[in-house]
Amino acid sequence: MRESAGIAVATALPRKNYPLLLTGQFLGAFGDCAIFAIIIGPYTFQLNNGEITLEQQRTVTTVLAAPFFLANVLFAPVAGFLNDRYAKTCGLAWGNFIKLGGAALCASSLVWGGWVQGLGYFIVGLGACVYSPAKYGILPEVLPCEKLVRANGTVELLTLLATLGGAVFGSMLADAYRDGQAIISYGIVVGIYGTALVANMFMARTAENLQVRLGQSTPAFFRHIRDLACSPRLARMLLGTALFWFIGVTMRMHIQPWGQHTLHLKENREIALLIIVLAVGVMAGSVLAGFLHKVGDLRRVPLYGAAMAGIFVVTATIAPDSSWLSWQLTPFGLKLILPVVALVFMAGFFAGMFLIPLNAALQAESDPLKIGKTIATQNLFDNVGMCVASAYLLLANQAGISPGGVFLGLAICTIALCGVLTWGQRTA
């Protein structure tokens, strides 16, 4: 009787849980990007009004972004333990509940000051850390094996669309609700996280494994990191995906000060358009890479990295008085500089071509019995790359490096690490 009931529940889970999972994932990722745009939006106006300098804006933007990544690095082992021990549906709900609390704390910074904003965004990152392993780990529990590849692709596509929409929506809120009205922006994001939480709470509870102990799970996690690091080929894949996120976060956080200083962009919406172009480029490159590459073929990956580096070098040559800036359109009153759009799109395109072969090879060549820990390890490496990106931007600002110089440094880092990937292929 119990066995037949279990089969009935397992049969019902795909129908009920999968669409609710996609709903919660989209809204949660949408909120993550929207709240960051709201946090940094006011500094655009302060710079335009002469209240802060470009260096101060660059520093504040970098410092406020770092807590999100830091939370993912510090609590990755604990998140893995929670994901192994408790129902994945609980992990999803906990993640969005923590995000909701972090957003509310960010809103309280309007009264208590900017330091609360950083703490609130750290808590949002903590919620994302708890949520991330559960959103992938739950898929085999709610879907048959033959649908997992398509489901992973759907989750990634929704995440990208949420990233685009959240960045634009958050920028629009930051432009629309300033100063005393900013509480409205935060209230809307709290509502988004709340809706995601409700979607998770309506999911049918999945299985748990209370035999898992923190004292066993955490050492096993670090042993798996050691095993992956000792495999030259898998270690290079982890290094490559971390490089992708280092590049992505550097560009994401640097586009705002670069856009204001070099491109003379005055509104958050104009800066958000460049972020959209970057993401669309990544999407296009990712799709094409899926057609051009066989799983495990990484021979052209360093070439894509070299192409990105070349684009960064060209981008570094754009000056505030460059003739390139005269080639522009103004749809809906927003400045769109055509050569810059092309460069940003191509950077994203080659980034997508760079990432997808690495991701596919890592998943295909990892131990199937430890794929969950492998994904958790990859998340850790990727977030370390994001933290390094924050440190790089902060140090570059403190050293007085120009916005163009930051792109030149990014090109040097990309070439150096791609050289490591190429050398590793020849010696493997």
Q: Which two tokens stand for residue 124?
A: 């949002």
Predicted confidence at residue 228, as pLDDT, reads 86
Helix (H) or strand (E) holding 328, with range, is: strand 328-329
Predicted confidence at residue 372, as pLDDT, reads 61
CA–CA distances in Å: residue 20 to residues 196, 333, 341: 9, 38, 36
Q: Taking the model in full, what pTM does it have?
A: 0.79
Tell me the C-alpha distance between 421 and 239, whole Å. Answer: 8
Predicted confidence at residue 3, as pLDDT, reads 37
CATH for the stretch 1-212 = 1.20.1250.20
Predicted confidence at residue 156, as pLDDT, reads 72
Domain ranges of the chain: 1-212, 213-428
The verdict on domain 213-428 having CATH code 1.20.1250.20 is yes
Q: Do domains 1-212 and 213-428 have the same CATH topology?
A: yes
Burial 111-141 (b: 16+ CB within 10 A, else e): eeeeebbbbbbbbbbbbbbbbbbbbbbbbee
Tell me the C-alpha distance between 154 and 19, whole Å. Answer: 11
Written as tens digits, the pLDDT of the chain (428 aa) is 333 333 344 444 446 788 999 999 999 999 999 999 899 888 888 888 888 888 888 888 888 888 998 898 888 888 877 777 888 888 899 999 999 999 999 999 888 876 788 899 999 999 998 898 788 778 777 777 667 656 766 777 788 788 888 988 998 898 888 767 889 999 999 999 999 999 999 988 887 777 767 667 678 778 888 888 888 888 888 999 899 999 988 998 888 889 888 888 877 778 888 888 988 898 888 888 877 877 777 888 899 999 999 999 999 999 888 877 778 777 666 677 889 999 999 999 999 889 888 877 887 787 766 666 777 788 888 889 999 999 999 999 889 898 899 999 999 999 998 887 776 555 44
Please state the φ and ψ torsions of residue 133, each to the nearest 5 degrees.
Answer: -65, -30
